[in-house]
Structure 1
Amino acid sequence: MSVPQRRPVASLWIGEKLHYLNQICLLSHVRNGHPTILYCTHDVSNVPAGVEVRKATDIMKIDMDIVSQTSESFLSNVFRYKMIKAIDAVWIDCDAYCHKPFPDEMDNIFAGHGFRGALNCGVVYIPPKGELIDRLLDYYENLPEAPAWFNKQQRKKLDKQDRSLPQAVRIYNAERTAFGPQAFTWFAQQTGDYEKALTPDYLYPVPFQLNDVFYDPYGRVEGHFTDNTLSVHLYTNGTKPWWRRNPPLANSYAARMCEIEGVDPAAALEE
């Protein structure tokens, strides 16, 4: 039986090689019928078959000097909204595993995250025309002296930054999530879109603090899921080095998903 074609999803990769966790996450969207686009800053040697590769510069100019002074996540935080504006696709982080297809009729795909009520932007779709996306893009393109939500301590850290640095770097050094969840949460609150957020079980059923469970052969990851669950965030930025450099243990969630997606984890480990 053929898989119905669904709305497109897209992500960004900075580097020359995917980890096996990134491969299974991209393939999970392909398997669920989503045209899956991977924008790349470099030639990537091991993109799985079925994933469409495009140049990141199709969406925006890439300043790798800024990336080197901040992080890959800084660039992706700017990139995701420009991508949505340009091609009207759902943004997926490369460590978001598709549990079920994203409904075509869902106009707002974002959710609260963890235990603090902030919104995460690891999986995001917002209308490409609207106040929220316009305000997010204006923030990135016209950086303020300090983000409006910065508290006294954050402003002190910002004031200590060398003024010869690019403003993006100064803000990032003061608060690394100022371009990600903090910005998204703040502007969604200002526009009234915060109330449209899905509950965490839709996109982040396993809390970040428990991400070791993905590698535990006796852990029941699916116990965190509900009927609402569409995506499972694997939080590779919090994965311990051993799991990044070694194949997952048999019967762990990571190993079982490799079997489903037909990926050999030993062939795509972190060196």
Structure 2
Amino acid sequence: MSTPVRRPVASLWIGERLHYLNQLCLLSHVRQGHPTTLYCTDKVSNVPEGVIVKPATEIMSVDMDIVRQTSESFLSNVFRYKMIQKTDAVWIDCDAYCHRPFPDEMTHIFAGHGFRGALNCGVVYIPQKGALMDQLLDYYDNLPEAPAWFNKQQRKKIDKQDRSLPQAVRIYNAERTAFGPQAFTYFAQQTGDYERALTHDVLYPVPFQLNDVFYDPHCNVEGHFTDATLSVHLYTNGTRPWWRKNPPLPGSYADRMCKVEGVDPAGALEE
């Protein structure tokens, strides 16, 4: 029985090589029937078969000088909404594992995560046309002197920045998350879309603070899941260096999912 073709998903990769966890997560969407596109700023040597590769410039021009002065996450935070607007695909971070396919009828896909109630945008879909999309893109395309939600201390940090720096760099230096969850949460609150957020178990069943459980063969990761869980975020940015440089322990969630997706961890470790 063939796998049904589902709604498209897409992500962005900056660099020349994927880690095995990224291969694993991309392949999980392919297996669930989602046409999966990886937009790349470089030629990536180890993209798994079944993943569609396209240049990131199909979505937007990429200023690598700004990326080098900020981070890869800065570019991806801008990129995801422009990608959704142009392609109507669901954005997936490269460390989001597809537990179950995204229903075609879901018009808003985002959720809170962690213990603070802020929305995350690691997996996100919003309508291509609407107030939330308009406000997000206007923010990125016309950066303010300071984001509207900044407090006095954050505004002082911006004021101390060299005015010859690009405005994106000045804001980033004042607050690293000003282009990610902070922006998405603020604008969703302004447009009323905050109330559309899914519960954390749908997209982020395991809290960021507990991400070691993915590598522990004695932990019941699936105990965090519910019948509503669609995606499992593996939080590679917070993964301890040892786990990134070594294959997962036999029987751990990461090991078991590698077997499901046919990924050899030893062939794509962090160098």
TM-score (norm 1): 1.00
2:187 maps to which residue? Answer: 187
Distance in 1 separating the partners of 2:139 and 2:242: 38
Distance in 1 separating the partners of 2:112 and 2:240: 24
The structural deviation recorded for 1:48 is: 0.3
1:258 maps to which residue? Answer: 258
Which amino acid in the other structure matches residue 202 of structure 1?
V
Give the 5 Å matches for 1:107-256. 107-256=107-256
Distance in 2 separating the partners of 1:87 and 1:224: 32
Following TM superposition, where does structure 1 have runs of at least 4 consecutive aligned residues deviating by more than 4 angstroms?
A: none
The structural deviation recorded for 1:164 is: 1.0
> 1:38-57: CA deviations, max 9, x gaps?
00000000000000000000
Which amino acid in the other structure matches residue 141 of structure 1?
D
- SS at structure 2 position matched to 1:143: coil
The structural deviation recorded for 1:37 is: 0.3
The structural deviation recorded for 1:162 is: 1.1
2:104 maps to which residue? Answer: 104
The structural deviation recorded for 1:69 is: 0.3
The structural deviation recorded for 1:159 is: 1.1
1:81 matched to 2:73? The reply is no
2:58 maps to which residue? Answer: 58
1:67 maps to which residue? Answer: 67
Which amino acid in the other structure matches residue 75 of structure 2?
L
- RMSD (Å), alpha carbons: 0.4
- SS at structure 1 position matched to 2:133: helix
The structural deviation recorded for 1:136 is: 0.2
2:26 maps to which residue? Answer: 26
Distance in 2 separating the partners of 1:28 and 1:168: 34
> 1:200-223: CA deviations, max 9, x gaps?
000000000000000001011000
Distance in 2 separating the partners of 1:116 and 1:156: 24
Q: Name whichever of 17-26 and 149-158 sits farther off.
A: 149-158
TM-score (norm 2): 1.00
Distance in 2 separating the partners of 1:245 and 1:99: 25
The structural deviation recorded for 1:152 is: 1.2
- SS at structure 1 position matched to 2:132: helix
- SS at structure 1 position matched to 2:158: helix
Q: Unmatched 5+ residue regions in structure 1?
A: none
1:3 maps to which residue? Answer: 3
Distance in 2 separating the partners of 1:160 and 1:129: 37
- SS at structure 2 position matched to 1:54: strand
The structural deviation recorded for 1:158 is: 1.2
Which amino acid in the other structure matches residue 104 of structure 2?
D
Q: Name whichever of 156-165 and 207-216 sits farther off.
A: 156-165
- SS at structure 2 position matched to 1:11: strand
- SS at structure 1 position matched to 2:122: strand
Q: Percent identity?
A: 84
- SS at structure 1 position matched to 2:213: helix
